């Protein structure tokens, strides 16, 4: 084999990858209806990003991002038009210097419903203690259950789900604070 045959392996490969786009906020796939909503993320590419479009609108034309065109890493954010409760989708398209394109469909649930609490059983125990059984339900997923005042309460450990049965022991009256993954809160009683 001649030296000439080895040269193609030494020559730079140019644009090796399509752009990468990642959403960092919101961290959950659901947000509370009525709260200010901003989508935050970044686009990166091995040769440079020249376009970030959201539903066809170019973000890099905005004065805050105009100087970023061509950079290998660009942090971006945008506020979607007013969205109603339900599923909202946005198409984010990133193009690099060499024309490679990556498209990301970003779905987000706008949740206007707080979780519900159902007491399914109370059992009296020795020493004034009670065993309380509950089921917490949400249209998306229950994210947090706290027994006691919110600032001092004990956060229960569980895997987030649309329905969470839980049993705990307590003395006296208790307050339950439950939140779904979007941040909607219910206090019981």
**What are the tens digits of pLDDT across the range 126-175?**
988 889 999 999 998 999 998 875 556 688 888 999 999 999 888 878 88
Q: What CATH number corresponds to the domain at position 82? A: 2.60.40.10
Which one has a higher pLDDT value, 24 or 27?
Answer: 24
Q: Has residue 7 been placed in a domain? A: no
CATH number at residue 142: 2.60.40
Q: Are residues 86 and 38 in the same domain?
A: yes
Question: Which tokens in the block code for residue 43?
Answer: 């686009």
Structural domain of 120 = 116-188
d(CA 89, CA 111): 14
36, pLDDT greater than 70: yes
Q: What is the pTM of this model?
A: 0.69
For residue 5, tell me if it sits in a domain: no
Higher per-residue pLDDT: 35 or 160: 160
Query: Domain boundary at 88, 111, 134, which?
Result: 111
- Residue 2 included in any domain: no
The total number of structural domains that make up the chain:
2
Do 86 and 60 have their domain in common?
yes
Which residue in this structure is represented by tokens 């109603």? 84
Q: Where a domain ends, among 111, 127, 156?
A: 111
In a domain, 86, yes or no: yes
- Ramachandran angles phi, psi of 174, nearest 5°: -130, 155
Poorest-confidence range of 81-85, 104-108, 110-114, 138-142? 81-85
User: Given 111, 139, 154, which residue is the final one in a domain?
Assistant: 111
Q: Which residue has the tokens 């659901």?
A: 30
């Amino acid at each position: 084999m001649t030296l000439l045959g080895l040269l193609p392996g030494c020559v730079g490969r140019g644009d090796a990858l399509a752009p990468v786009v990642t959403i960092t906020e919101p961290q959950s796939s659901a947000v509370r209806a009525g709260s200010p909503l901003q989508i935050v993320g970044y686009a990166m590419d091995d040769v440079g990003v020249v376009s970030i479009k959201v539903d066809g609108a170019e973000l890099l034309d905005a004065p805050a991002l105009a100087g970023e065109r061509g950079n290998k890493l660009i942090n971006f954010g945008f506020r979607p038009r007013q969205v109603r409760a339900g599923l909202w989708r946005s198409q984010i398209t990133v193009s690099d210097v060499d024309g490679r394109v990556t498209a990301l469909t970003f779905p987000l649930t706008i949740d206007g419903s707080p979780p519900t609490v159902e007491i399914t059983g109370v059992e009296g125990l020795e020493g004034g203690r009670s065993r309380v059984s509950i089921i917490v339900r949400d249209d998306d997923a229950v994210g947090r259950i706290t027994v006691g005042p919110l600032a001092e309460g004990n956060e229960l450990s569980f895997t987030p789900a649309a329905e969470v049965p839980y049993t705990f022991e307590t003395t006296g009256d208790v307050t339950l604070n439950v939140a779904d993954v979007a941040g909607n809160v219910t206090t019981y009683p």
